[in-house]
Amino acid sequence: MLSAIETIKARARCAAAVLLIFAALVAEGQSVPTKTGPVTADRQSEQNWWRNAVIYEIYPRSFQDTNGDGIGDLNGITERLDYLQELGVDAIWLTPVYPSPQVDFGYDISDYRAIDPQYGTMADFDRLVNEAAKRHIRVIMDMVMNHTSDQHKWFLESRSSRDNPYRDWYVWRDGKGETAASPGAPPNNWQSYFGHSAWQWDPKTRQYYYHKFYIQQPDLNWHNPKVHEAFKGIMAFWLERGVGGFRFDAITTLFEDPQLRDEGVVKDKNGNPIINAYGDPQLDDSRTNNQPGVHEVIEEMRAEAEKFDSNRFPGTRVLIGETYLPNVDELAKMYGTQEKPEFQLPMDTQVGMINKLDVTEFRSKLIDAETKIDSNIPLLLFDNHDNPRIDMRYGDGVHNKDIERVIATVLFASRGAALFYYGDEIGMVTTPPKRKQDVKDPIGITGWPQEKGRDGERTPMQWNAQPSAGFTTGKPWLPIPPSAATINVADEQNNPDSLLNWYRSLIRLKKTVPAFAHGANIMLDTENTKVLSWLRQSPGMPQIVVSANFTAEPQTVNLESSGSGLKAEHLKTLLKSPGGADPAALGHIELAPFGVYIGEIQ
């Protein structure tokens, strides 16, 4: 499993106080003075909805099937909107639903302005957006700008001849040492994140094209202004249909080194090249990731989204970035500046991909999120469709449910926006294929058995304990995990101690308690290596303490004596793990193994 994580990491290299007071006022429902006069809290909360947004990622293929073809569809999502509203989500991010040959299950797009018939029609999409809006849920679309499908009309044109007007929309280069009889070698040593050379020879026009992902996903040439204009048009098309924003896929890989210099080979401590799951030497990504030009494109797209103003769809459109980056300084740059804003919410993979329950590391990364991104809003996440689920990355196999409570607590009880993946709320477990012949995700075939692909985290949503888990009446495109018999929405809904109800309670606190909604995160008891404790603080609001035990042993914490200066006459419990005790005082909080306590200081 670690190898899968390593591979994913490799792919991935594929006025604070004023604001807080403002946010607290808004959360309280007061009006806030602005340059143009008072603005009502309602209007402001429309504009600021994303600042403590709860965003739910849906993998449409696996969420809910309504036509019995074994593949989830848009009508299925619409059917489940009441569930999502009850859970408390503000927005759903749909992984791509555009027409696609589905080599990369939608991330290979052949038409950016339509819906793939296997997911439904444009009318279904419009109905989903409208029904979601009735429930105060926004729909966020995936925006894949790094590459298209090789079946997209732009690429079909591009590859048809060297002088086609679309030739320069993609990255074409000559091979090295080409002769009439042979294509020669690829232009350099660059590799696809999905294995082997990133250059594909195209015999018709006798050049190589570049693809950072699958061969069927040729990279667009972002030096070509026409590509910029095309995507601005695509964004406007979806904004006009009422979407709440976009999640920008693979945004850091838009540009490559124009001089085509080789990338470095990563070596182990003995100086030997590290070989990845595909049998290739691991490269350092230094010439194909996070290159100059990326920030200007994000800035341009943000400006485009800001231009959109519609009375039909009031509120702010949010731009989310898929930003796997080496450190928080690079993450901070993804927000842009006040004059040139970029993403409102670049994903903070620094916190979410720690991949071990290490209190010190969590604390340090959460402090970074609080102090090193200026006054911006962190977007925390722990899971998505590209990584083994939380059970595999944080679980110990014995206390997984409790550990998932701990992770959810960090996610929702920290300042900022929270993004989670369908099924996390019930504790769905990673279920990778057992045999190579069952693998659907092509990297699982190229990388077998070290890299089993991403099927394991994309299995159908477990709605109930029926054999089809309530997902489909047909044959599901991926098998229903055996765990559906015990891990499913229907059972958890009726169990007050379930993970589902833990998620609901945390989200309710995030939405209703001012300090919990927008308050600063201040770490407490900072030498403790077993328990992570922090304070949520908003001027004039009751303070809240959170303690989460990261160990399998009971722990007791004293938050009075830890130099915090905090004193509490009384602690009012807001939430605690099942069976946990109400502490008599802030100086003595007892936590069960992987137990959590959240209380208001009174």
Q: CB 223 → ligand NOJ: shortest distance, Å?
A: 20
Contact criterion met (CB below 8 Å) for 471 and 422: no
Using CB under 6 A as the binding rule, the residues of this chain from 290 to 329 that contact ligand NOJ are: 322
How many residues touch ligand NOJ under the rule CB under 6 A: the total is: 9
CA neighbor of 212 nearest in space, from 176, 257, 167, 168: 257
Nearer to ligand NOJ, 104 or 391 (CB): 104
Using CB under 6 A as the binding rule, the residues of this chain from 410 to 449 that contact ligand NOJ are: none
386 in contact with ligand NOJ (CB under 6 A): yes
Residue 287: Cβ within 10 Å count: 20
548 in contact with ligand NOJ (CB under 6 A): no
Q: How far apart are CA 223 and CA 226, in angstroms?
A: 9
Q: CB 324 → ligand NOJ: shortest distance, Å?
A: 9
Q: How far apart are CA 322 and CA 345, in angstroms?
A: 9
Q: How far apart are CA 339 and CA 580, in angstroms?
A: 49
Nearer to ligand NOJ, 215 or 591 (CB): 215
Contact criterion met (CB below 8 Å) for 323 and 349: yes
Nearer to ligand NOJ, 477 or 550 (CB): 477
E strand map for 62-148 = 91-94, 138-144
144 in contact with ligand NOJ (CB under 6 A): yes
* Structure-derived torsion over alpha carbons of residues 206, 207, 210, 216, reported in degrees to the nearest 10: -10
Q: CB 194 → ligand NOJ: shortest distance, Å?
A: 8
Q: Is 485 helix (H, G, I), strand (E, B) or coil?
A: helix
246 in contact with ligand NOJ (CB under 6 A): no
Nearer to ligand NOJ, 330 or 386 (CB): 386
Q: CB 56 → ligand NOJ: shortest distance, Å?
A: 16
Nearer to ligand NOJ, 252 or 376 (CB): 252
Structure tokens at 36: 């143009």
Q: CB 444 → ligand NOJ: shortest distance, Å?
A: 12
107 in contact with ligand NOJ (CB under 6 A): yes
- Out of 20, 250, 328, 379, name the contact with ligand NOJ by CB under 6 A: 250
Q: CB 474 → ligand NOJ: shortest distance, Å?
A: 24
CB half-sphere exposure, 54, CA atoms < 13 A: 27
Bridge partners, 142 (sequence order): 247
Q: CB 543 → ligand NOJ: shortest distance, Å?
A: 38
Tell me whether strands 544-549 and 531-537 are parallel, antiparallel or unpaired: antiparallel
**Burial (Cβ within 10 Å: 0-12, 13-18, ≥19) of residue 579:** exposed
Bridge partners, 93 (sequence order): 57, 140
Q: Which residue is nearest to ligand NOJ (CB)?
A: 107
Please spell the DSSP secondary structure of 99-163, one letter per residue: ----TTTTSS-S-TTS--TTT--HHHHHHHHHHHHHTT-EEEEEEE-SB--TTSHHHHHHTT-TT
Nearer to ligand NOJ, 368 or 457 (CB): 457
Q: How far apart are CA 598 and CA 37, in angstroms?
A: 38
User: Which residues are known to be catalytic?
Assistant: 249, 322
Q: How far apart are CA 289 and CA 301, in angstroms?
A: 19
Using CB under 6 A as the binding rule, the residues of this chain from 77 to 106 that contact ligand NOJ are: 104
- Out of 63, 213, 343, 534, name the contact with ligand NOJ by CB under 6 A: 213
- Out of 249, 348, 404, 451, name the contact with ligand NOJ by CB under 6 A: 249
Nearer to ligand NOJ, 213 or 412 (CB): 213
57 in contact with ligand NOJ (CB under 6 A): no
Q: Is 171 helix (H, G, I), strand (E, B) or coil?
A: coil
Interface positions with ligand NOJ (CB under 6 A)? 104, 107, 144, 213, 249-250, 322, 385-386
